[in-house]
Amino acid sequence: MTGGRARSAVVVGAGLAGLTAAEGLAARGVDVTVLEARERVGGRTHGIEVAPDAWIDAGAAYLGARHTELLDLIKELELHTTPTTMLGASRFALGSHQDGEHATRDGRFPPLNAVALGDLFDHLAELTAVVRPEAPWLTPDAERLDSLTAAEWAEQYLDHPDARLFFPLFLGEMMAADPAEVSVLHMAFYLRSGGGLRYLNAFEGGAQQDRIAGGAHLLCERLAGRLAERHHGTVRLGEAVRAVTQDADAVTVHTERGATYRADVAVVALPPLLADALDLGPEPPARRAGEPTGRGCAVKVNLVYPSPVWREHGLSGWSVNAEGPLLSTVDDSPAGSAVGVLTGFVTGAEAHRYAALGPGEQRAAAVAQAARLFPMLPEPIGFHVTDWVNEPYSKGCYAALFGPGDWLRLGPTLTAPHGRVHWAGTETSTEFFGLLEGAIRSGHRVVAEILDGEA
């Protein structure tokens, strides 16, 4: 911005990035209005109450010790973490072992050829080590890595059928990605940005170590509450933004309902596909998303039982499955409540198939599969499906997928302000891209950009 310090700002999007930015600006005396399309704050965090005072996460859930800004925020908002429960054996339905259809194993290593999986992880570790996390487009050999999809890479580098079977399951779990939709550069960047293969994949000591007691949605609810307490901040729900225009004096934000808001600066804190759909006047020199940019594909299924009965049978609730809909399951039972919650992840291409089913078929398929994996399960007392792929105000999750060519085209201008318009959102953070931590870091970056002139 030219012409002095910003006194007012409009923030588009009340997810974690937008609210972090709003709170940071309001705390330093800027008048902030946050415009949110949905009738709730939180974006890709969303809580569901499954029993009185027992909440589960239909969106983001997990965090680890390296998520330092998230941990600071949790403390600041007087929230607490609770460890993810991962005690007991795992179940696998991978179709290529000697124990019949389902296998039970200690730990989480699948009953597949250990050398083949070791080679797969060595290949991935090499790619991850090479990528330049702060500027992936400057990675040596970036052009080749950005032109190749992860599916093409697997075709070239993975010979063993077990590695070929496991790779898409791994990518689905890590990134909610179909290998055909992401470039190798994006895959390597994502794994590196999130702390590396081992960290991202681990529960204890890794990125899935803890959850937020009461649900991750509390972060945004408390941030919004704090903003409401300050006379410098307001959140307006049900205000979908369609256009952002600017002139020499101000920025004007136009909503679908016909309202306009003027301010010194705007912060657009939306996933790239939604930011790219806004009408911007004048047009920015670079787009926020390209033709190859895809939606992360995840449908989250939460099955609620009277108790986590699998624990009594020495099982952790963790499973990995070659056939859907539930490609993996995990014990997400809320701490301090009697109910047991098994969360199923439907990811990658399977997410599209499952999302297209009717509610009855979705329930029948998920309940039947859970019962095959854990035969001791009774009928569920609750069942929730959250289809993020078709959420109009998310367009996928966990995060956008950068396809071939995206990093080279979009990377250099990922955070560059467009006049009075600044960009936030987890997909603008090269640290912990796609995660809650990335969203918070992006919010802090724009506050510094606006108030301190720092990039």
Candidate residues 35, 54, 177, 200; the one interacting with ligand FAD per rule CB under 6 A: 35
Is residue 318 a contact point for ligand FAD (CB under 6 A)? no
Count CB-CB contacts under 10 A for residue 102.
17
Of the listed pieces 8-16, 105-113, 326-334, 408-416, which binds ligand FAD according to CB under 6 A?
8-16
Q: Is 64 one of the binding residues for ligand FAD (CB under 6 A)?
A: no
Q: Does 269 bind ligand FAD (CB under 6 A)?
A: yes
CB of 2 to ligand FAD, least distance (A): 26
Nearest approach, Cβ of residue 121 and ligand FAD (Å) = 21
Task: Work out whether 397 is an interface residue with ligand FAD (CB under 6 A).
Answer: yes
Interface residue with ligand FAD, options 365, 370, 425, 441 (CB under 6 A): 425
Q: Is 60 in the site for ligand FAD (CB under 6 A)?
A: yes
CA-CA-CA-CA torsion for 170, 174, 177, 178, nearest 10 degrees? 0
Q: Which of 137, 203, 388, 407 binds ligand FAD (CB under 6 A)?
A: 388
Residue 174 sits in the site that holds ligand FAD (CB under 6 A)? no
Q: Which residues contact 122 (CB under 8 A, 6 or more apart)?
A: none
Q: Does 206 bind ligand FAD (CB under 6 A)?
A: no
Identify the residue among 6, 10, 11, 15 touching ligand FAD (CB under 6 A).
15
Of 37 and 54, nearer to ligand FAD (C-beta) is 37
26 contacts: CB under 8 Å, gap ≥ 6: 32, 227, 230, 232, 233
CB of 8 to ligand FAD, least distance (A): 18
Sheet holding 251-255, edge to edge: 260-263, 251-255, 241-246, 279-281
Q: At what angle do helices 184-193 and 150-157 cross, to 10 degrees?
A: 100
Shortest distance, position 119 Cβ to ligand FAD, whole Å: 28
Give how many residues touch ligand FAD by CB under 6 A. Answer: 41
Type of residue numbered 421: V
Nearest to ligand FAD of 45, 316 (CB atom): 45
The reply to whether 45 sits near ligand FAD by the rule CB under 6 A is yes
Our CB check for ligand FAD shows the closer of 145 and 346 to be: 346
38 in contact with ligand FAD (CB under 6 A): yes
Least Å distance, CB 176 to ligand FAD, is 7
Alpha-carbon gap, residue 269 to 11, rounded angstroms: 7
Instruction: Please give the order of strands across the beta sheet that includes 62-63.
Output: 62-63, 210-212, 81-83
Q: Decide if residue 389 touches ligand FAD (CB under 6 A).
A: no
From residue 165, alpha-carbon distances to 155, 174, 198, 270, 299 in Å are: 12, 15, 20, 34, 21
Q: Could you tell me the smallest distance in angstroms from the CB atom of residue 428 to ligand FAD?
A: 8
Give yes or no for residue 213 binding ligand FAD (CB under 6 A). Answer: no
Amino acid identity for residue 37 in this structure: A
Minimum CB separation from ligand FAD for residue 12, in Å? 5
CA–CA distance, 428 with 59 (Å, rounded to integer) = 19
Determine, following the binding rule CB under 6 A, whether residue 203 of this chain makes contact with ligand FAD: no
Contact between 92 and ligand FAD per CB under 6 A: no
- CB 435, min distance to ligand FAD, A: 3
**271 is a site residue for ligand FAD (CB under 6 A):** yes
In a 13 Å sphere around the CA of 107, the CA atoms on its Cβ side amount to 4
Tokens of 193: 């940005």
Nearest approach, Cβ of residue 365 and ligand FAD (Å): 19
Query: What is the three-class DSSP state of 91?
Result: strand
Interface residue with ligand FAD, options 104, 393, 405, 415 (CB under 6 A): 393
Per DSSP, the three-state class of 121 is helix
d(CA 455, CA 447): 10
Residue 398 lies near ligand FAD (rule: CB under 6 A): yes
**The amino acid at 57:** D
Residue 339: CA atoms inside 13 Å, Cβ hemisphere, count?
A: 22
DSSP string, 145-206: HHHSBHHHHHHHH--SHHHHHHHHHHHHHHH---GGGSBHHHHHHHHHHTT-HHHHH-STTS
Query: Residue 321 is which amino acid?
Result: N
Please identify, among the stretches 15-23, 131-139, 197-205, 348-356, the one whose residues bind ligand FAD according to the rule CB under 6 A: 15-23
What is the contact surface with ligand FAD in residues (CB under 6 A)? 12-18, 35-38, 43-45, 59-63, 240-241, 269-271, 274, 298, 300, 388, 393-394, 397-399, 425-426, 434-439
